[in-house]
Structure 1
Amino acid sequence: MVTPPGARRALVWSFANTAFGKFGTLLISILIARVLGPEEFGTYAVALVALMAVLSVNELGVSLAIVRWEEDPRTIAPTVTTISVAASLIFFGVAYAATPAFTAAMGDPQATDVVRLMLVCVPLNGLVATAAALLQREYQQGRRTAADQVNIWLGAGISVALALTGFGAMSLAIGRVVATVVFSIMLLVFSPLPLRFGWDRTYAGALLRFGLPLAGASIVVFAVGYSDQLVVGAVLGAQALGFYLLAFNLASWPVSMLSQPVRAVAPAAFARIQNDPERMDAGFRAAFRLLLVVALPVCAFVAGAALPIVTFVYGEVWAPAALALQWLALHAVLRIAFELAYDFLAVRRRSSTLMVIQIIWVLALIPALLVGANLGGMQGVAIAQLAVAAVVLVGCYAWALSRAGVHVGALVRTSIVPVLGGVVAGVGALLAAHLIELDLLAALAAGTFALAVIAGTLALSRESMRVLRPDVVAAEEAS
């Protein structure tokens, strides 16, 4: 896979951005969870689900066209902005009106005001969609990092201060909105192009044809990503949702740390070599292996040491969250793999295939979640997530990748070492959790062992690293 200097710098900035951001978010979430407790945390979860639902389709998928546009993006930027803002205003109005019905269905009518305040982020997101896409296209992750860090720390500071003064779940909503306003201003200032509205019929139709299938897929992606929280809230109540949200956030930490930085630059990098199938195949397999080399031991560590991690970091009152965390952490490995595959298939213009895969996922997942919630509570929901992903999605993505030019057999073979590393790390974490009584020592021992496993498997993955090295890529291009 081509990794030009701009992409390499962007990847470094993106990883640093995610690392600092997740570290800050983790610290703040600890404070918030200890101050609010599971029930108030559940109210915030209801608002967050509503916001994510709208944001999943907010700009109709058209901003991604800027990243992949082969010509000068200035030709389509005004039209993209017009579509994004108009769509976001419409979605905001519909969601605002539907909020009371939504919160009642979630079993928490008192969350209505929190949800409505959070929805203010929707039109702001539409306003800066073009700017965000332009920064990604130009590998300006340094500027994006500055905006993201201000967003995280400003929002966190406001939320913690208000939570300590008794604002409850509303403190998180206020912090989120204020920070989003500042974040939006920064993106507009940093954007390579000024904010402009316009309408070009020549491009509008093409943009909508490109974006709508992706937006449709994003709706289903939202259903996949948040139907578990919807089921937990509706079936088990707000307090259970608070426990589950904490477990989900902890399980998502490896996904954010490992997958999001790669996804920030992977679409543009894949797009540069989309006309060279062999290099696309080799690049995908190399990136896939290196992601798994790190992701599997990390996720296995979180799964095996779930109870000591939760009780040490958040306190004994949050111990029930470990029941879901141990399964959600294993599911996180598959999420990381699926997201890389999703980006690859999107660049290969397999939008319809992605839509079919997501629909199959939802159709299989929702019944499984309902059964899991009624039979096993939070733990049953988490097990259902993992089972459907492993049984249904692995096969679907393998089929799609094969049709897109990836040698699936070779992909499986290159995954053997990472899988073995994950098993070893998981067994070590389980032993540490059961044999060491002090939570801190158990978590530290399991984490240290996982790092050692990662170091060993990386040493066995030099060929994959060689494929992605810039000098090797340059030599191949010269030949």
Structure 2
Amino acid sequence: MGWTLLGSWTGAAVQVATTMVLARLLTPADFGLMAMALTLTVVVTQFRQLGLSQAVVQRPDLTWNQVNSLFWVNTAAGIVLAGVVAVSGFPLAAFYDEPSLVPICAALGAGFVVSGVSVQHGALLNRAMQFRRIALRNATAGLLASATAVVAALLGMGVWSLVIQNVSALLLATVLNWWAVPWRPGRPRRLGDAVPLLRFGAHVSVASLFHTASREGDNVIIGRFLDAGALGLYTRAYSLLMLPLKQLKTPVQAVMVPTLAALQGEPARYRKAYRTAISGLCHAGLPLVVVLAVAADEVILVALGEQWLAAARIFQLLAVASFVQLVSTTTGWIYTSTGRGRPYVVWAVVGGIVTVGGFLVGVRWGVEGVAASYAISQVALFVPGFVLACRNSPVRLSDPFRAMARPAVIAGGVLAVSVVVRSVVAREDSVFLTLAAVVAAALVVWAAAMMVWPSARRELSGLVESVRTRRRGDAKA
């Protein structure tokens, strides 16, 4: 877990530094143009893995012949999807009335060819809980790709700096995956052995497709009905908000999905591990969301610069959705770890329809209306999502709500203190001082709560301890 967090936060630091530099070298329209190109690309990405990385992690009796078969399936999918992305530039250019999307999509398609041959290598690393190697891979690929993007931006390449960053990150990750995993594929044979994994992977892919479509729906609608500048503001606000939260959720998910999958036959331990993970995640994440929302103006000014200040209100509205999603997205852990693909698809379809419907209503009030509709839809879907996910699983419906109770109380205290401190010290000529004061006050309240509330402290430390216990058990086995 330590390596996972170290790698995740190292990557976040690199990303923040890169964002701060690129936001000052590029324009909102550049980022908006890239977001337009990625609207279909991100959706197509769900078929690159075909859900087979999750299938490898979840499968208790995996064979090397199955891994070999899945490798060739992923490779073929990568080649096909590269062509789909390249060709998609023409309809996207017509849809957004942006001819420059044609060459951008052609370049982005190349990334699918190289990334398709690394899916199984990455899945094997995750299945074996090789978190040190995963952390080093992610940090190295992110650092080199970011450096390349900054150099390209300094050379005046505009939106192509972002394209280069995207493709080079995939290429570097592929090279590092093959270097870290000694397994090499053989010729394709006995593909029938992989059918059970393909079936589960298909369910995961469809569910991921609808989740991604709902998540990208806002970008499509803003780009179509507003303009590239508005889309650039929206996507930068969302990316900046999600960056620290992703560093919390991604490593925890990487650990918990294989851990929960291994505990399928022990319902009591499964339930305890899930509840512990939720509590620890919320203790770290909910106060962070609160601080980011309260100091939105200062965060935007420091991270992106004055030309992005209009994104602050968007940032705050999206923070409401992120507050809920920190917990709601863990329903995917339950579906994936228990192999329940069909209900996963059903909920993904329902959630996608509700979310995109909200975007279509919200766009009437501009980009802030879209952000507000996203927050409202995520709050509305929270309870129904857990009702379906907990059915026929070791997790009880009350578990996620009990797990987030203490963290929510502490986050409320952080909110109250942060608002008061900001109202007292906020000055236009001291942005850094205001941000530092709010962060410091929040940290004091959070640390004090952990010191005087033993139950909360145990919840936070329980996540790390449960993962350590799991890894010691694997080592003995």
> TM-score band (shorter)?
over 0.9
What is the deviation of 1:403? 3.8
Superposition map of 1:307-318 within 5 A = 307-318=297-308
Greater Cα shift, 183-192 or 332-341: 332-341
Shift of 1:188: 0.9
TM-superposed deviation, 1:133: 0.3
**Counterpart code for 1:389:** Q
**Alpha-carbon deviation of 1:120?**
1.2
**CA separation of 1:467/1:220 partners in 2, compared to 1, >3 Å: closer, same or farther?**
closer
Residues 1:186 and 2:182 are matched in the alignment: no
Q: CA separation in 2, counterparts of 1:474 and 1:12?
A: 12
Measured in 2, the distance between the counterparts of 1:309 and 1:463 equals 31
Give 1:440's match in structure 2, choosing from 420, 432, 446.
Answer: 432
Task: Please say if 1:449 is aligned against 2:441.
Answer: yes
Normalised TM-score (structure 2): 0.92
Which residue number in structure 1 is paired with residue 248 of structure 2? 258
Q: Quick check: 1:113 aligned with 2:118?
A: no
How far is 1:335 from its partner? 2.2
Unaligned stretches of 5+ residues in structure 1: 1-10
Q: How does 1:125-136 map to 2 (within 5 A)?
A: 125-136=115-126
Report matched runs for 1:197-212 at 5 Å: 197-212=187-202
Which residue in 2 is equivalent to 1:35? 25
Q: Which residue of 2 aligns with 1:80?
A: 70
- The alpha-carbon deviation at position 48 of structure 1 amounts to 3.0
Residue-by-residue CA offset, 1:407-435 (whole Å, 9 max, x unaligned): 22243233222112222222333334433
Residues 40-69 of structure 1 show CA distances to partners (whole Å, capped at 9, x for unaligned) of: 121122233333222112131123222122
Contact 1:81 1:196 in 2 (8 A): no
Deviations 1:378-398 (A, max 9, x none): 211111111111112332224
Aligned residue identity for 1:341: T
Aligned residues: 467
Offset of residue 127 of structure 1: 0.7
Query: Shift in Å at residue 450 of structure 1?
Result: 2.4
Q: Deviations over 1:87-120 (max 9, x none)?
A: 1211221221121212332343323222221221
Please, which of 412, 420, 426 is the counterpart of residue 415 of structure 2?
A: 426
- Segment of structure 1 superposing worse, 432-441 or 12-21: 432-441
Aligned equivalents of 1:104 and 1:267: distance in 2? 41
Equivalent position of 2:127 in the other structure: 137
Hey, what's the Cα distance between the residues in 1 that align with 2:183 and 2:314?
A: 45
1:321 shift after superposition: 0.7
Q: CA deviation at 1:179?
A: 3.7
Corresponding residue of 1:391 = 380
The 5 Å alignment of 1:18-417 reads 18-375=8-365, 377-417=366-406
Cα 1:104–1:428 change in 2 (3 A) is: farther
Q: How big is the shift at 1:72?
A: 4.4
Give how far 1:466 is off: 4.6
- Deviation per CA, 1:300-350: give whole Å up to 9, x if none: 111111111102322211001111100112212222212322112211222
Is this contact kept in 2: 1:46–1:103, CA < 8 A? no
| Partner in structure 2 of residue 3 of structure 1 | none
Match of 1:8 in 2: none
Q: Partner of 1:149: helix, strand, or coil? A: helix
Cα shift at 1:136:
0.7
CA distance in 2, matches of 1:105, 1:322: 28
Q: Is the 8 A contact 2:29 2:232 kept in 1?
A: yes
Q: Distance in 2 between matches of 1:384 and 1:431?
A: 28
Contact 1:254–1:332 (Cα < 8 Å) also in 2: no
Between the aligned partners of 1:188 and 1:380, the Cα distance in structure 2 is 45
Given residue 262 of structure 1, which amino acid in structure 2 is its aligned partner?
Answer: V
CA RMSD, Structure 1 to Structure 2 (Å): 2.3
Cα distance in 2, alignment partners of residues 107 and 59 from structure 1: 31
| Structure 1 residues 290 and 161, CA gap change in structure 2 (3 angstroms) | same
Q: CA deviation at 1:31?
A: 0.7
Offset of residue 457 of structure 1: 4.4
Whether the aligned pair in 1 keeps the contact of 2:37 and 2:89 (CA below 8 Å) is no
Percent of aligned pairs with the same amino acid: 23
Contact 2:12 2:244 in 1 (8 A): no
Matched, 1:469 2:456: no
Compute the displacement of 1:21 (Å): 0.5
CA distance in structure 1 between the partners assigned to 2:291 and 2:433 by the alignment: 14
The one-character-per-residue Cα deviations of 1:128-162 (angstroms, maximum 9, x if unpaired) are 00100011111122222222222111111111111
